[in-house]
Structure formats: structure tokens, C-alpha cells
Chains A and B, each alone.
Chain A
Amino acid sequence: KAGVTQTPRYLIKTRGQQVTLSCSPISGHRSVSWYQQTPGQGLQFLFEYFSETQRNKGNFPGRFSGRQFSNSRSEMNVSTLELGDSALYLCASSLRGDSGLRGTEAFFGQGTRLTVV
């Protein structure tokens, strides 16, 4: 079974540009979450999507957005890039069932390393 696939693995962008990162979840997983990892702030939750709807959002500015497609693939977009946006962006997928006791395990991709110069 293929794992979570994130593309691209590495990106270099210039301040002010915008960027789109892609995440393909494990087959059958309907929930996709995004996290930002930086040396200073650690791992921080960005947002979660389920069935093409954003279900949960972290404390990030509106420049950070995302979406999910009908095949559960997700993209996140960062507009007007700032130097502080340099980070490892991790995507996680989980199998979300109707019962709250199932589907809490998140499987992570290898991440996209974004460098803003």
C-alpha cells in the first residue's frame, strides 16, 4: 500500500511569490491534515480537510489556504511568501470513520521543504 506522497520534496521561492504544495493521501483515507515544522516553533497544525471541506484550522494567517479534491488529494497554498514561511510542510492522512474511536492514527508524508529567499 503506497504511503502519503508529497510533491515536490524541495522548493525555493522568492519573497512575495506564492506556492502550492500537493499531498496524495493513502488510498481510502479521507482526512488530510497539514502541519508546519520549523526549528523555532516546532510542529504546528495548519488545517484539516475531510470530504472536500475544511473541518479544522490552526492559528495561521489567511495567506495560508488549502483545498481537498473529490479523490481526497489535497493542496495547500501560501501567498505573498515571507522569509518566516521557510519550513518543512508535512501532510498527514487518516482513515476517518463515523465512530470517534476509529481513525485517529495519522500517517505522515516525507514533507516538502520550502525555502523562501
Chain B
Amino acid sequence: AQSVTQLGSHVSVSEGALVLLRCNYSSSVPPYLFWYVQYPNQGLQLLLKYTSAATLVKGINGFEAEFKKSETSFHLTKPSAHMSDAAEYFCAVSVGYDTGRRALTFGSGTRLQVQP
């Protein structure tokens, strides 16, 4: 069974500082990995996804993530935080695309605060 661990339920950075949100996964087969963002009272918006094409994945709003198989990690980064980045971020894993098991397993989320 697959699982996702997000280290740090809350992360606070200053505006303009580097954003690093950590995600480690566990999967017995090559996974698909995703990062979603959720603003208050909203649904989830896809930031980026890894589907084995390239280990460094660029997403929307200046975010990117690097898939490291040896570390089973898929950390999300952004070089310079903006106030509008304040939100909750979820890492998710999906496996079993050939067996029809398409459920996403989410991490517990990391709330990002951006200080002025």
C-alpha cells in the first residue's frame, strides 16, 4: 500500500525567502506523485505532478519539485515566497493505474505562512 508523509504541519517563511515543503512517499511500485494547494474554503488545485517523464517537475506559480527515488522524496520548492502563497499544501500519491485503482492517498498537509 502506498503512503505519503509530509514533514512539518506548519511552515513559516518571510516574503522573498525560499519555500521548502517536504514530502516522502512509500510505494512498492513506481508512483505518480502530486502536489495540490488549498486556499481557505476552496477545493484543491493541482500545482504539479510527477509521472516518470522527468525527475524535476515545474508547476504553476513558480513551484517545482524533484523526484528522488533513492530518498523516496518529492519535496516542493519555490525560490521566493509571495504573500499569495499562504495556503495549505498537500502531497499525494497514486498507484495502480493499470489495475484501475486510481485513488489518491494524501499526506496530512502543510500550512504555509508567509510573513511580510
User: Nearest-CB distance from A91 to chain B (Å)?
Assistant: 8
Are the CB atoms of B100 and A104 closer together than 8 Å? no
A residues within 8 A CB of B44?
Answer: 90, 92, 108
Q: Is A74 an interface residue (CB 8 A)?
A: no
Known: A104-B51, A109-B43. A45 touches B104 (CB 8 A): yes
A27 to B116, CA, bound (A): 41
Are the CB atoms of A45 and B42 closer together than 8 Å? no
> Chain A contact residues: over half helix, strand or loop, or mixed?
strand
Q: How large is the interface on A (under 10, 10 to 19, 20 to 34, 35 or more residues)?
A: 20 to 34
Cross-interface CB contact of B103 among A6, A58, A105, A107, cutoff 8 Å: A58
Known: A90-B44, A110-B42, A111-B43. A33 touches B106 (CB 8 A): no
Are the CB atoms of B102 and A96 closer together than 8 Å? yes
Cross-interface CB contact of B49 among A6, A92, A104, A109, cutoff 8 Å: A104
Q: Is A100 an interface residue (CB 8 A)?
A: yes
User: Nearest-CB distance from B93 to chain A (Å)?
Assistant: 11
**Chain A 18-29 interface mask (CB, 8 Å, partner B; 1/0):** 000000000000
Q: For residues 61 through 116 of chain B, which have their beta carbon under 8 Å from a beta carbon of chain A?
A: 90, 92, 94, 97-98, 100-109
User: Nearest-CB distance from A39 to chain B (Å)?
Assistant: 10
Are the CB atoms of A56 and B45 closer together than 8 Å? no
A94 to B49, CA, bound (A): 14
Are the CB atoms of A33 and B102 closer together than 8 Å? yes
Interface centre among B32, B51, B94, B103, by most chain A C-beta atoms within 10 angstroms, is B103
Cross-interface CB contact of B94 among A55, A104, A113, cutoff 8 Å: A104
Nearest CB in chain A to that of B49: its residue: A105
Q: For residues 71 through 117 of chain A, which have their beta carbon under 8 Å from a beta carbon of chain B?
A: 90, 92, 94, 96, 100-101, 104-111, 113
Are the CB atoms of A48 and B106 closer together than 8 Å? no
Q: Is B56 an interface residue (CB 8 A)?
A: no
Q: Is A43 an interface residue (CB 8 A)?
A: yes
Q: Is B46 an interface residue (CB 8 A)?
A: yes
A100 to B106, CA, bound (A): 20
Are the CB atoms of A45 and B105 closer together than 8 Å? yes
